[in-house]
Amino acid sequence: MTDRQLRATIGLLALAGTALAAYLVFVHYSGRPITCSFGGCETVHRSKYSEVLGVPVALLGLGAYVAILALSLWCSEAARAAGLAIALSGVLFGAYLLYAQVVVIEALCEWCLLSDALLSVIAALSLLRLLTKGAPAPPGVPARART
Residue 62 CA to residue 78 CA, distance in Å, equals: 21
pLDDT at residue 133, as a whole number: 72
The answer as to whether 26 is a domain residue is yes
Can you tell me the mean pLDDT for 91-97? 97
Q: How many domains in the chain?
A: 1
Q: Which amino acid is at 16?
A: A
Is 32 inside a domain boundary? yes
- Express each pLDDT in 65-83 by its tens digit: 999 999 999 989 999 999 9
77: CATH? 1.20.1440.130
Domain extent, residue 55, equals 3-134
Is residue 134 over pLDDT 60? no
pLDDT surpassing 80 at residue 146: no
Residue 139 included in any domain: no
| Nearest alpha-carbon partner for 20 in 75, 88, 94 | 94
Q: What are the helix (H) ranges across the chain? A: 3-30, 41-45, 57-71, 77-99, 110-131
How confident is the model at residue 1, as a pLDDT?
85
Amino acid 140: pLDDT:
57
Q: Which of 69, 119, 118 is nearest to 92 (CA)?
A: 119
90 in Cβ contact with 120 (< 8 Å):
no
Report if residue 130 sits inside a domain.
yes
Check pLDDT > 70 for residue 9.
yes
* Nearest alpha carbon to residue 122 among 83, 95, 93: 83
